[in-house]
Amino acid sequence: MGDKDSNSEKKQVIEQQIYHFDDLIIQEILTRLPIKSILRFKSVSKQWYSTLSSSEFANAHLIKSPLAYPSAPVNTLFIKSGTNYYLFSYDDDQISGNFEDNLVKLDVDRGFEKFDLELTGSCNGLVCLTPSSGKYFFLWNPATRKMHKYEPDFYVKRIDAETTIRHVICGFWYASSVDDYKFVRLLKRSLGTDDTNCIGHIFSLRENKWTRFDFDCGHDFLVTQNAMLTNERLYWPAFIPPTNSIIILSFDLVVERFDVVKLERRDNLGVMGGCLSKCDSDSPSKDDKLMHIYESPGVIMKSIGFPKGLRLGMASQMIGFTRAGKFFVTRDFEPRMLGVVDTGTKPMQYTTLLKFNEMIEIARYVPSLVSPFPFEEELSTA
């Protein structure tokens, strides 16, 4: 009996050592590997498949990524041009050459191309695409090639059918303090109506359900740009006809509340280094643009003036910074271009990276294993 008990104890010790060794490999090695390698390792065993498919591992892998934090440098962009989708990687050390070699066209299901979609947001590896009607949305992880379409529930569909809505505002992002991805849509009645009340809906990925809220900013307004997010708040610039005065709609993803901030002029919003930024058009005469980067709303942390020679007055989007302090710029006049501005050179330099035949939308992209499916469906769809 003594030998059998001793052998049983030795077996348990060995199994525990193997378990801890596996756990050490998963937590300290696999969480630092590229996504392609992790997807291959899913076939090692059923236990590895289950572990590597879990949301816990996806979050651990994301946390270890040096590019996952809002203030981290940008080196990959998601690009939408017409019905084509791309990932573009940029290396600060690439001085010249064919930048098109860094552009990867993403394969999508042929049926997906029939949808007329807009780029609503990108965070933690998930890209949100929405039609102009806002009646549904797609979440897509290009790194894992998984996509899920989210349809409205019965009550949301009934509101859509009973309400005359022509202007829809959408936003998507992650609220870290509540560990939830949220899609927000605000339905506004047609311009010119006296009723300024808006109907809003929020979809929680964690709870896999829609909730409704009402919002009245007291003005008739028209949003002019996609949502920007910083500090768990979504921001949309808008103007109020017929005065053309400017406001910013602000939505807190945690407490789920809208606020209105007034602006002095019509400017483009952006997120630079994890901070909200605003680009003026009426800068001092020596500059054609002046960008303010805000530590918090109303508190300017840094201002950058751009020489007229860069012609950034024609820029439609600004995104960045890279590791070397450059930032990305798009221009929507023909030919449509993606370029980069080097703020570290004197004078500043603009370099064209890519040209497109159709209008382009870009967003910062961080590769991840985060699932686009509702949380409870992750394992069943892995």
Task: Please report, for the domain that includes residue 135, its CATH number.
Answer: 2.120.10.30
Judge if 145 and 159 occupy the same domain.
yes
Q: Are residues 176 and 313 in the same domain?
A: yes
- Strand 222-223 and strand 233-240: the pairing is antiparallel
Structure tokens belonging to residue 45: 């065993």
358: tokens are 């159709």
From residue 376, give the alpha-carbon distance in Å to each of 54, 58, 172, 207, 326.
Answer: 10, 14, 20, 9, 40
The total of structural domains in the chain comes to 2
Print the domain residue range for 198: 65-381
pTM of structure? 0.85
Cβ distance 268 to 318 under 8 Å? yes
∠ at Cα 193 (188, 196), nearest 5°? 50
Shared domain for 30 and 136, answered yes or no, is no
Q: Same domain for 202 and 265?
A: yes
Same domain, 336 and 267: yes
* Closest-CA residue to 151 (of 106, 178, 185): 185
- The pair phi, psi for residue 340, each rounded to 5°, is -135, 140
**263, β-bridge pairs:** 246
Residue 368 and residue 300 share a domain: yes
β-pairing, 197-204 vs 209-216, is: antiparallel
Q: Are residues 318 and 375 in the same domain?
A: yes
Q: What are phi and psi of 13, to 5 degrees?
A: -65, -45
Bridge-based pairing state of the strands 287-296 and 299-307:
antiparallel
Q: What is the DSSP letter of 101?
A: G
Task: Encode the chain (382 residues) as per-residue pLDDT tens digits.
Answer: 555 555 455 445 434 444 454 677 777 788 888 898 889 988 888 888 888 888 888 998 998 888 888 888 898 999 998 888 999 999 888 766 788 889 999 987 766 666 778 899 999 999 999 988 788 899 999 999 999 999 888 777 776 666 665 678 889 988 888 889 999 988 876 555 555 677 888 999 988 989 888 887 777 777 767 788 888 888 888 777 767 677 788 888 888 888 887 665 666 778 888 888 887 655 444 556 778 787 666 677 788 888 777 777 666 788 888 999 888 988 777 678 898 888 888 888 888 899 998 888 899 999 999 999 986 554 444 4
Helices (H), the chain: 2-28, 35-41, 46-52, 55-64, 154-162, 378-381
The alpha carbon of 99 is separated from its chain's Cα centroid by a whole number of angstroms, namely 23
Of 61, 90, 106, at which residue does a domain stop?
A: 61
User: Considering only CA atoms, which of 142, 240, 233, 120 is closest in space to residue 191?
Assistant: 240
Nearest CA to 374 among 227, 175, 100, 183?
183
Contact 17, 48 (CB under 8 A): no
Domain shared by 45 and 163, yes or no: no
Are 38 and 72 in the same domain?
no
Q: What is the largest CA-CA distance in the chain?
A: 94
- Same domain for 163 and 56: no
Q: Which of 61, 88, 103 is the last residue of a domain?
A: 61
Please report, for residues 11, 172, 214, 296, the alpha-carbon distance to residue 251 in angstroms, rounded to integers and kept in the order given.
Answer: 57, 11, 13, 15
Contacts of 16 (CB under 8 A, 6+ apart): none
158 and 274 in a common domain = yes
45 CB burial (10 A radius; 0-12, 13-18, 19+): exposed
Shared-domain flag, residues 101 and 137: yes
Final residue before a domain boundary, out of 61, 82, 103 = 61
